[in-house]
Chain A
Amino acid sequence: GQQLNQSPQSMFIQEGEDVSMNCTSSSIFNTWLWYKQDPGEGPVLLIALYKAGELTSNGRLTAQFGITRKDSFLNISASIPSDVGIYFCAGRPMNSGYSTLTFGKGTMLLVSP
């Protein structure tokens, strides 16, 4: 099946620092999504990307759909303690139906005040 490599696995940073995480795939994707999951909760959609090269921001979050269609990154600027959680990338392979969403294994983010 499809594989998504998400890195880093975890990050421990100081409040105010910027953060960057990324996902790469072995095949072309036509959609990239970034989710955040808090403990005991389901993932919450942060940003959705639909076109190669697309750069989208949501407050302090910025994500880009790679030109090759095989990667995406998420940046968080000026991190705050409530950014703590697990961030997942997810994507839909080219020519797949909307039932097919492949997830990365997540990046755990810890922010110290």
Chain B
Amino acid sequence: GAGVSQSPSNKVTEKGKDVELRCDPISGHTALYWYRQRLGQGLEFLIYFQGNSAPDKSGLPSDRFSAERTGESVSTLTIQRTQQEDSAVYLCASSLKDRNQYFGPGTRLTVT
């Protein structure tokens, strides 16, 4: 496809379970970003990948959150031992290096 895709679109999980969210960036985009959007809030930066450089993890809220990216393609965001406060929409964006970000549709995570 032409845009950023994310899966699943919706995920309901029980408190304490692990979840894995996937992002497929636009082909050729070297930079990839993960954000969290709580209901009625703006976007909260989580992590940034740029090529083969070490990722910028400064936005990850706790050590339960981690993300990986294989080369310049797919990325997965993993949340371990989910808590109710993790409920949010998780948005992925990609860009050419140092250019503007294009967002995917997001994954809506609900922790019950």
Contacts and interface: CB of A to CB of B under 8 A. Distances in A.
A58 to B, nearest CB: 13
A41 B50 contact: no
Contacts of B102: 45
A42 B106 contact: yes
B100 A104 contact: no
Contacts of A105: 40-42
Contacts of B101: 45, 101
Nearest to A90: B43
B48 interface: yes
Contacts of B31: 98-99
Contact of B42 (A4, A33, A97): A4
Interface in A10-48: 33, 35, 40-45, 48
A88 interface: yes
A65 interface: no
Interface in A39-87: 40-45, 48
B109 interface: no
Contact of A43 (B43, B48, B97): B43
Q: Which 10 A-B pairs have the closest CB atoms?
A: A42-B103, A99-B48, A103-B42, A103-B43, A105-B42, A99-B56, A98-B98, A43-B103, A42-B104, A42-B105
29 contacts: A4-B42, A6-B42, A35-B103, A40-B106, A42-B93, A43-B43, A43-B91, A43-B103, A44-B103, A45-B100, A45-B101, A45-B102, A88-B42, A88-B43, A97-B56, A98-B95, A98-B99, A99-B33, A100-B45, A101-B43, A101-B45, A101-B101, A102-B45, A103-B43, A103-B44, A105-B40, A105-B42, A106-B40, A106-B42
Given A88-B42, A101-B33, 13 more contacts: A6-B42, A42-B93, A42-B104, A42-B105, A42-B106, A48-B100, A88-B43, A97-B56, A99-B31, A103-B42, A103-B43, A105-B40, A105-B41
